[in-house]
Amino acid sequence: MPARAITPALFIRQHVLRMTVGEFAKALDVDKSQASRYDERGQIPGRHRETVRRLARARGVSLPAVWFEQVPFDRSVRSSGVA
């Protein structure tokens, strides 16, 4: 089976938030199949973006708006010191 392409939504969930699909779904108050569709389609709907930013800040990561649209070339995620 070929590796799944990394989409902006998948990158944010796995590398920024370090969440499983189930954890992400619960945080956004959607079912797991919906959260999985975000990964596949690549986009996190606007209505969830502030929640995702808040979750990232709680992990000490500043989430640039562009990451919602494209995966960064340098995929290392560093703590920004934001709390």
For 43-52, write each residue's pLDDT tens digit.
999 999 999 9
Residue type for position 31: D
Domain boundaries 8-68, CATH class? mainly alpha
Residue spans of alpha helices (H) in the chain: 8-11, 21-28, 32-41, 46-58
Per the CB < 8 A criterion, the answer to whether 11 and 71 are in contact is: yes
Tell me what the pLDDT averaged over the chain comes to: 88
Residue 75 has a pLDDT of 57
Judge residue 74's burial from the number of C-beta atoms within 10 Å of its C-beta, 0-12 exposed, 13-18 middle, 19 or more buried: exposed
Predicted model pTM = 0.83
pLDDT at residue 77 greater than cutoff 70: no
